[in-house]
Chains A and B, each alone.
Chain A
Amino acid sequence: MAIELKDVTKWYQSGDVKTTALKHVDLTIKDGAFVVVLGPSGSGKSTLLNVMSGLDTLSEGRITIGDDVISEMSSKQLTLFRRKHLGFVFQQYNLLQTLTVKENVDIGAHIAQTPLSSEDVLERVQLQAHMDKYPFQLSGGEQQRVSIARALVKQPKILFCDEPTGALDETTAKEVLGLLQRLNETYGTTVLLITHNQSIAELADCVVKLNSGEVVDVVDQKDKRRAEDIHW
């Protein structure tokens, strides 16, 4: 699914103070692309992810995903849209601590129209041996793979990843990035990954550079690298 942002602006009002987080952003993300949004802290990366995924509303502008104008959807419509088309991976994994690895994936499968088998997905992320363990019994990398499996099981058209390797060491981070890369290639899932780590941008088909809420550059990369080949 392609994503199109037209003149997107987002500001926050706190008393008399108005803070603009995104300024007139125009951006098109192709269907099946692996996109990295790069920028320093406070550049508006997370705000961009929030509005693109329907987690937050716009102040101005229009966002279209596929044929749907999500910026005009109600909260309920957005919920159903996320349920049907979108997947999320976060820096802090956000697993349900009382559920086992498999049950965490089942939580994703439960609301999908055509879910994959949880066991198959866990096998794909190489966690089949840990299915009955609880999140706290896993390493950080393993927990992040569970959260990817939870997103993947729904067969999302777009996967939004907010600093997915922010809490991982380099080796583990590369494993997780490699996994995201393979998913993008195997299933054609559009991946939009937010990071401040420039090295990760080398994986992308397209790099969007953000600064002070404005898109300062969009770079299409023909010679992207494999996750195992990058260093930071």
Chain B
Amino acid sequence: MFSKHVLRTFKKKWSTLLLLGVIIFLSSFIYTVISSAVNGLSGPAERFFEETRQEDVSISVLPFLDSEWDACIPDDVATMEALYLRDRACHRRLIDLQVSLFEHGFDDIAFEARLYKDLQIRLDDSRHSLRVFKDTQRINRALIVDGEKPTADDEIAIGALYAENNGLTLNDTLDVMGETYTITGFVLFPDYNLPIIDHPFLFDSRYQALGLMDEAAFDALPLAPAYSIAGVFLSDEAKTRFVDDFETYELFHYATYILTENNIRSGAIYGEIAGSTAMGVFLSVMIALIGIIIVGMVMSKTLNKERGAIGVLKALGVKDAEIRTPYLVFLAVFTLAFLTAGYVVGFAFAPAMRDLFLTFYLLPEDAIPFSAVDVAVAIVVPFVVIMGLSWWIIARLLAEDAFHLLRPKLAEVKPARFKRMQALFEKFGVLTRFQLKQLVRSPAKVAAYVIGIFLAIYAVFLGFSMLDVFERTLPAYYDSIDVKETGFCDPLAPCDATGGEGVIQLDVFVDDERALLIGLDADTQRHPLEDRRGRDLRERLSEGLVISKSFQDLTNVRVGDVLRVEFLDTRFEREVVAVADVYPGAYVFTEREALALEIGADADYFNVVYASEALDEADFVKVLRTDVILEQTAMMNDLVQVMMYVIIGGAFLIGVIVIYILSVLSVEEQFYNISLLKVVGYENAEIHTMMLGGYLKLNALVFLLSVPLGFVSTMVLKRIFIDVYDYMMPLRLLWWHILLTLAMFIATYVLGNLRAKRSVDTVSLQEALKVYQG
């Protein structure tokens, strides 16, 4: 009988309970979907890295030669590339020599050369980049996920995702530099789990392919290979010793290294897994906390309204357990239903979430394993906490005897809490005091409110700061210049700039930072340069270096600083004269002719052609099409955009729910006071202000505090990307984002308060005449 009464009591609160259920569902869902997706990613990834022996460090050696290194080096050959074309045996001997030098210097690290060739292929009238690796034996071994390893000189294995994106299947053929290769397998490489070839900002696997050929086929490609030296630490101390000793090592001046954990092409997945797990736990705990506090409040309010009925039951001799059980059973069923639904739906969506990661990451795909820990965190822990809290609330009420339960209970007030804030209260009029005291009186409610609102605002800020993040990189850069195609000249053949403009592009070190140094003519038409205020910087190229904004963000270099530029055996210094407002990466610009003379070339030297029309591919080693680059970034941008809209929408939903539930609860607990105020002559609008105005002030305060925090966290996030991956992610929180968030926030507040305001309006005037229980 009493069970029916309990059911009817909760039935009256169906809308609040439903939204509370959504909060409980979200806490379980968010944790499960992220954690399961990460489980589905991290397990196979770890096994893959272990099986294939992923490098711990990658060393790049400058490709210029010193004839003293080995007798096989001809006097007139200055680069490894030229040596390969002249004497492949000597080229190999030199690489082996470098590997053995490192092995000699670091006996607790295993080393192996990693050779690859970059070329372009045509597929469906599009030019795609292909990086073909030479198979390795010890480190960064290739994993064939389908088919066979290539063994003949007309066979190739390619990345599965690239194949899928371009409709290629096993036994299809691929034209590579005029030869036809049969696809024998799909392959993954542990050192390239992000397919970064063309540019660090581009990790789209539709246009960038990774491939594997057997040794003979690899050597037969008529191109000089690039290489790095991969290392695996054999002891725990190896890494520390390597990092400490590298600068004292004799090859230091010719080599740089990057640890896998800081290498975006191979190590970003570690940060992704750790970051996603942390974010999943954080969001889930925060949302669960809101849910737990609200459950506590709903239980407390409901039971206090039932004091009389419970008092009668106790007076009639009904046992505490008989009163307690229906409440706890209802709550257990309610909580468990939403937690379980969150887990089940989360687990069902986890593959989609994992596949979202796998849109970029080249990793093995495996079924998502069942995890008892996930069940514990998503269901058991919040369930136990909610039931424990509810048990305590009921136990506290049942501890009172029937006599006290039958008497109306006045709302508890703790004047000590008010006294501490008396000085603040006295600064305001009585209505504001009333609002503030409602807040001070209910710290748990305020905590839930602040957490909910802060999460919502912060997520919206984060979403906005990431909107168009990729648009600001290469697309914005290419928008600012007039280059439709970029042709890379063959260094050993004359280069024709007809139809374009000759520039110099060199991979250099600028103050020990890798950068692309671009030599432009002061009257360049293809590559205008402007600063933030739109001032033309081309004339200033002759005065020194113009750096890109992204290079400045990466290095903290300022105008007036003098930078050291190193290219092969050439070193010179230049002053930074301006900052160009573009984010293409670590780009530095100077005058072409001065640069040509600095590196010992003729005054009219150039190695790259910028063209506003199509170039003849036959004239160049490689031609990059700007529209392809833009298409790649647009795809990445669209994906990030969708994710950000989901985050912003989710944040909006949570904000509305939190405001809705808490404002409705606030009005319910003030039922008699509202009636009294109406009787006295207060208008509905004035009562809205009194009952809900405190939360409006709280909202305003949280919003104001969130704004600087949003800016700071945007800067911190940028810094983290720079410090960890040397990667400039141009996150940007703008004032119109703040204004838009404010508008959304006001909409959230208005929507969330609609029901509470309606409740205020419908409170009957005669309530004040009834027995007061407020």
Bound-state Cα–Cα, A137 to B769, Å: 22
Of B673, B681, B686, the most chain A CB neighbours within 10 A belong to B681
Encode contact with A along B429-447: 1 for CB under 8 Å, 0 otherwise.
1110110011001000000
B768 contacts A94, C-beta separation under 8 Å: yes
B681 contacts A94, C-beta separation under 8 Å: no
The interface on chain A, measured as residues whose beta carbon lies within 8 A of the other chain's beta carbons, has a size of: 34
Determine if B774 is an interface residue (Cβ-Cβ < 8 Å): yes
Known: A93-B772, A98-B438, A162-B769. A134 touches B681 (CB 8 A): no
Determine if A96 is an interface residue (Cβ-Cβ < 8 Å): yes
Contact segment of B29-37, B390-398, B408-416, B510-518: B408-416
A82 contacts B411, C-beta separation under 8 Å: no
A92 contacts B681, C-beta separation under 8 Å: no
One of A76, A103, A135, A136 near B434 (C-beta < 8 A) = A103
The interface on chain B, measured as residues whose beta carbon lies within 8 A of the other chain's beta carbons, has a size of: 31
| Nearest A residue (CB) for B441 | A98
| Nearest B residue (CB) for A160 | B679
Determine if B683 is an interface residue (Cβ-Cβ < 8 Å): yes
Determine if B89 is an interface residue (Cβ-Cβ < 8 Å): no
One of B413, B415, B430, B672 near A107 (C-beta < 8 A) = B430
**Chain B residues with Cβ under 8 A from A98's Cβ?**
411, 413, 418, 434, 437-438, 441
CB distance from B551 to the nearest CB of A (A): 59
Main secondary structure of the interface of B (DSSP, over half): helix
Known: A79-B681, A82-B679. A50 touches B769 (CB 8 A): yes
Bound-state Cα–Cα, A56 to B418, Å: 37
B682 contacts A111, C-beta separation under 8 Å: yes
A86 contacts B769, C-beta separation under 8 Å: no
A56 contacts B765, C-beta separation under 8 Å: yes
**Chain B residues with Cβ under 8 A from A162's Cβ?**
769
B433 contacts A103, C-beta separation under 8 Å: yes
Known: A98-B434, A99-B434, A134-B413. A90 touches B769 (CB 8 A): yes
Interface hits, A53-110 → B, CB 8 Å: 53, 55-56, 76, 79-80, 82-84, 86, 88, 90, 92-94, 96-99, 103, 106-108, 110
CB distance from B768 to the nearest CB of A (A): 6
Determine if A212 is an interface residue (Cβ-Cβ < 8 Å): no
One of B433, B680, B682 near A99 (C-beta < 8 A) = B433
Determine if A172 is an interface residue (Cβ-Cβ < 8 Å): no
Determine if A46 is an interface residue (Cβ-Cβ < 8 Å): yes
A84 contacts B433, C-beta separation under 8 Å: no
Determine if B771 is an interface residue (Cβ-Cβ < 8 Å): yes
Known: A55-B766, A94-B772. A110 touches B430 (CB 8 A): yes
**Chain B residues with Cβ under 8 A from A83's Cβ?**
680-683
Bound-state Cα–Cα, A146 to B429, Å: 19
CB distance from A56 to the nearest CB of B (A): 7
One of A79, A84, A90, A110 near B768 (C-beta < 8 A) = A90
CB distance from B529 to the nearest CB of A (A): 64
Bound-state Cα–Cα, A82 to B410, Å: 27
**Chain A residues with Cβ under 8 A from B672's Cβ?**
94
Bound-state Cα–Cα, A113 to B242, Å: 83
Interface hits, B710-735 → A, CB 8 Å: none
Bound-state Cα–Cα, A80 to B680, Å: 10
A111 contacts B681, C-beta separation under 8 Å: yes
A97 contacts B766, C-beta separation under 8 Å: no
Determine if B757 is an interface residue (Cβ-Cβ < 8 Å): no
A86 contacts B681, C-beta separation under 8 Å: yes
**Chain B residues with Cβ under 8 A from A88's Cβ?**
679-680, 768
Encode contact with A along B663-682: 1 for CB under 8 Å, 0 otherwise.
00000000011001111111
CB distance from B398 to the nearest CB of A (A): 23
Known: A50-B766, A79-B678, A82-B679. A99 touches B774 (CB 8 A): no
CB distance from B214 to the nearest CB of A (A): 82
Interface hits, B733-774 → A, CB 8 Å: 765-766, 768-769, 771-772, 774
One of B441, B681, B774 near A82 (C-beta < 8 A) = B681
**Chain A residues with Cβ under 8 A from B686's Cβ?**
111
Bound-state Cα–Cα, A110 to B429, Å: 9
A107 contacts B680, C-beta separation under 8 Å: yes
| Nearest B residue (CB) for A56 | B766
CB distance from A182 to the nearest CB of B (A): 22
**Chain B residues with Cβ under 8 A from A110's Cβ?**
429-431
A79 contacts B683, C-beta separation under 8 Å: yes
Bound-state Cα–Cα, A171 to B43, Å: 81
Known: A55-B766, A90-B769, A92-B772. A111 touches B430 (CB 8 A): no
**Chain A residues with Cβ under 8 A from B677's Cβ?**
107
A76 contacts B765, C-beta separation under 8 Å: no
| Nearest A residue (CB) for B433 | A103
**Chain B residues with Cβ under 8 A from A137's Cβ?**
415
| Nearest A residue (CB) for B437 | A98
Known: A92-B772, A99-B433, A106-B430. A84 touches B766 (CB 8 A): no
Bound-state Cα–Cα, A99 to B430, Å: 9
CB distance from A55 to the nearest CB of B (A): 4
Bound-state Cα–Cα, A109 to B397, Å: 38
Bound-state Cα–Cα, A106 to B438, Å: 17
A108 contacts B680, C-beta separation under 8 Å: yes
Encode contact with B along A203-214: 1 for CB under 8 Å, 0 otherwise.
000000000000
**Chain B residues with Cβ under 8 A from A154's Cβ?**
681
Residues of B within 8 A of A (CB): 410-411, 413, 415, 418, 429-431, 433-434, 437-438, 441, 672-673, 676-683, 686, 765-766, 768-769, 771-772, 774
3 shortest interchain CB distances as A-B pairs: A83-B681, A92-B772, A106-B430
Q: Could you pull out 11 A-B pairs where Cβ atoms are within 8 angstroms? A: A50-B765, A50-B766, A55-B765, A79-B681, A83-B680, A88-B768, A96-B676, A98-B418, A103-B433, A108-B680, A134-B418
With A83-B680, A92-B772, A98-B418 already in contact, 16 other A-B pairs whose C-beta atoms are closer than 8 Å: A50-B766, A55-B765, A76-B683, A79-B681, A82-B680, A94-B672, A96-B434, A96-B673, A97-B411, A97-B413, A97-B774, A99-B430, A107-B430, A111-B686, A134-B415, A162-B769
